[in-house]
Chain A
Amino acid sequence: MIEAHQLTKRYGEKMAVDRLDFAVRPGTVTGFLGPNGSGKSTTMRMIIGLDAPTSGTVSVNGRRYAQHGAPLQEVGTLLEAKSVHPGRSAYNHLLAQAYTHGIPRRRVDEVIELTGLQAVATKRAGKFSLGMGQRLGIAAALLGDPATVMLDEPVNGLDPEGVLWIRNLLTGLAAEGRTVFVSSHLMSEMALVATHLIVVGRGRLLADTTVQDLVRDAGGDTVQVASADPGRLREILAGPGIEITGRAGSEELRVTGMSARAIGLRAAEHGIALFELTARTVSLEEAFMDLTRDAVEYHGTTAAGATIERAA
């Protein structure tokens, strides 16, 4: 359980994180979504106390992270930035982390096996590929058998098999009742694992919702119908939970809350001829783009022939 209250981080003039309020609950995978530079990494760094908030608070399982007796047992973290000394072997890195908490060697072996690092465990971490480095970071995150697992862009640099492995890992961890908090700037990736979503842009909270609600709120599952008598069609379709919009003088109506099939059947019952019947499902990607359009900090400008992007 992670709870943020009015969490704020300012760097000079720039608000990296702007009065965020959210809660991440156990038992589900919560996606932390936002464009590059929207404050996701800064928020995660504040959760584990690497950065001090300018104002506001964030707690983990009821207390500030630093106040826990065994922090690695509360939150296991994978940060986006490299957090390993390249001259130390994976095994020795994990062992040094384990020593601070009195975690037994057996657990070090377990996480090495779990992340598939057996073959390279004694190699210097500086020689690791991006994907191997990511696995080492995840091994470190799981080391303390944490109640909350927090991963910043975990699929970065992983091959398709690795991505699949992460998905299974995350859903498995949530199924065990843990709190799983995963950031990404890729909606498509989130849609596959997360049930709850926290969307931020420019440090502000844009949405704290579920995947289904996000799609519905973005106008998902609308059906577009056209007929000679839109007024009559509107009457026969009206009902609780059904929303119908249309412009005066137009043959078209937009209906939400009813499937295309149901509309077609109802119209046939009443003998209304339909000229058009189109289901328009908004994809998660579109919903996300709609939500964050104004909050994207670094737009690519094809006109100028340059795409400017910055790491979050």
Chain B
Amino acid sequence: MTTITSAPASASTPARPTRPAYKVTGPRVLRSEWAKLWSLRSTWIALGLGVLFLVAFGLIAAARYKSVITSGQRLDPDWADSTAVSLSLFGTGPAQLALGVLGVLVSAGEYTTGMVRSTLAAVPRRLPVLWSKSAVFGLIALVAATVSVVVTFLIASGIVSGTRAAMTISDPGVVRCLLGAGLYLGLVGVIGVALGAVLRSVAGGIAVLVGALMLVPGLISLLPSSWQDNIGPYLPSNAGQSMFALTHDATSLSPTAGLVAFVGWTVLALAGAAYRLVRTDA
């Protein structure tokens, strides 16, 4: 222990002739959540990782494509349909993990550390906390992801210019894809926040997040094919992919339908989080 000052209690505050008029308001809760987010090291690390994944994977994919083309080797069939957009969005998969996990940490981290007791003592109506956390983190993830994919595209399209994959930002669908990817990652962050609030456990939240985004599409292939065609496109990962895919076939949703479906999943997760937050003891 360091210095201890035995300050007399009377130094705290004078008896209350004029009490300052404090009040909890929506914007103030937002500001508090904003300050909470940036005052933790994990935010900077996870956000940095998300940005790094988006930029590095996109640029590496573009550079590899370019080097294969220029060396005259045969392209893998998987790469044959590549465009500057699909190459620069290569990092979406790992980035969704980084941002989704950070979302889980934002909410579930409060339960595992006990911080939630302070949070709910300050905002006992509770729901403003969930809305603020979702809004603050969703917005930050959206902005970071959008800026990252736009920058990546601008560099990657330069790398692959002159190849079959070449595209410019003014080509039809490009801006929609890039914004779609940013929006998707922002919503993944919100889903992470909601899952963390539903499960109140960092490990559980991450497990469900990874399961929903990465394992369920694999499991669905076990179902009869007619089911697959009906359910598959609406799964979070597939609906999300429709938001930032340049081309769509019969088995995938249109970008708008994908957005609607993915927002639906987000709302569902938030509704579960709100229910649990209001109904269960903290």
The answer to whether B39 and A50 touch across the interface, beta carbons within 8 angstroms, is: no
Among A51, A103, A132, A176, which residue has its beta carbon within 8 angstroms of that of B13? A176
Question: Whose C-beta in chain B lies nearest to the C-beta of A92?
Answer: B39
Q: Number of contact residues on B: which range applies? A: 35 or more
Q: Please, what's the 1-or-0 string for A44-74, where 1 marks a CB less than 8 Å from any CB in chain B?
A: 0100111110000000000001101111110
Contacts A113-B7, A119-B3, A132-B1 given; does A50 touch B22 at CB 8 Å: no
Question: Whose C-beta in chain B lies nearest to the C-beta of A70?
Answer: B22
A159 interface contact, C-beta 8 A: yes
The answer to whether B118 and A173 touch across the interface, beta carbons within 8 angstroms, is: no
Among A83, A100, A145, which residue has its beta carbon within 8 angstroms of that of B16? A145
Residues of B within 8 A of A66 (CB): 124-126
Question: Whose C-beta in chain A lies nearest to the C-beta of B281?
Answer: A51
Interface residues of B (CB under 8 A from A): 1-16, 19-25, 28-29, 31-33, 35-36, 39-42, 109-110, 113-115, 117-118, 120-126, 281-282
Contacts A50-B120, A70-B23, A170-B9 given; does A99 touch B31 at CB 8 Å: yes
Write the nearest CB–CB distance from A245 to chain B, whole angstroms: 44
Pick the most buried of A86, A96, A118: most chain B CB atoms within 10 A of its CB: A96
The answer to whether B110 and A85 touch across the interface, beta carbons within 8 angstroms, is: yes
Among A85, A100, A114, which residue has its beta carbon within 8 angstroms of that of B32? A100
Bound: A40/B213 CA distance, A: 44
A89 interface contact, C-beta 8 A: yes
The answer to whether A173 and B281 touch across the interface, beta carbons within 8 angstroms, is: no
The answer to whether B1 and A129 touch across the interface, beta carbons within 8 angstroms, is: yes
Bound: A77/B13 CA distance, A: 17
The answer to whether A83 and B15 touch across the interface, beta carbons within 8 angstroms, is: no
Interface segment among A160-168, A212-220, A288-296: the answer is: A160-168
Residues of B within 8 A of A50 (CB): 117, 120-121, 281-282
Known contacts A66-B125, A172-B8; 7 further A-B pairs (Cβ under 8 A)? A50-B121, A66-B126, A68-B124, A73-B22, A92-B36, A96-B32, A116-B5
Q: Number of contact residues on A: which range applies? A: 35 or more
The answer to whether B1 and A99 touch across the interface, beta carbons within 8 angstroms, is: no
The answer to whether A145 and B19 touch across the interface, beta carbons within 8 angstroms, is: yes
Q: List 5 A-B contacts (CB under 8 A).
A: A85-B115, A92-B39, A120-B2, A161-B6, A164-B6
Pick the most buried of B12, B29, B109, B282: most chain A CB atoms within 10 A of its CB: B12
Residues of B within 8 A of A69 (CB): 23-24
The answer to whether B4 and A145 touch across the interface, beta carbons within 8 angstroms, is: no
Bound: A164/B7 CA distance, A: 11
Write the nearest CB–CB distance from B88 to chain A, whole angstroms: 34
The answer to whether B113 and A86 touch across the interface, beta carbons within 8 angstroms, is: yes
Write the nearest CB–CB distance from A306 to chain B, whole angstroms: 29
A102 interface contact, C-beta 8 A: yes
Among A52, A65, A87, A99, which residue has its beta carbon within 8 angstroms of that of B40? A87
Bound: A170/B120 CA distance, A: 24
The answer to whether A165 and B4 touch across the interface, beta carbons within 8 angstroms, is: yes
Question: Whose C-beta in chain A lies nearest to the C-beta of B117?
Answer: A83
The answer to whether A49 and B12 touch across the interface, beta carbons within 8 angstroms, is: no
Contacts A113-B7, A177-B15 given; does A81 touch B35 at CB 8 Å: no
Residues of A within 8 A of B22 (CB): 70, 72-73, 101-103, 144
Question: Whose C-beta in chain B lies nearest to the C-beta of A168?
Answer: B9
The answer to whether A49 and B19 touch across the interface, beta carbons within 8 angstroms, is: no
Write the nearest CB–CB distance from A102 to chain B, whole angstroms: 5
Bound: A165/B122 CA distance, A: 26
A:226-249 near B, CB below 8 Å: none
Question: Whose C-beta in chain A lies nearest to the C-beta of B20?
Answer: A145
The answer to whether A101 and B23 touch across the interface, beta carbons within 8 angstroms, is: yes
A:141-197 near B, CB below 8 Å: 142, 144-145, 147, 159, 161-162, 164-165, 168-173, 175-177
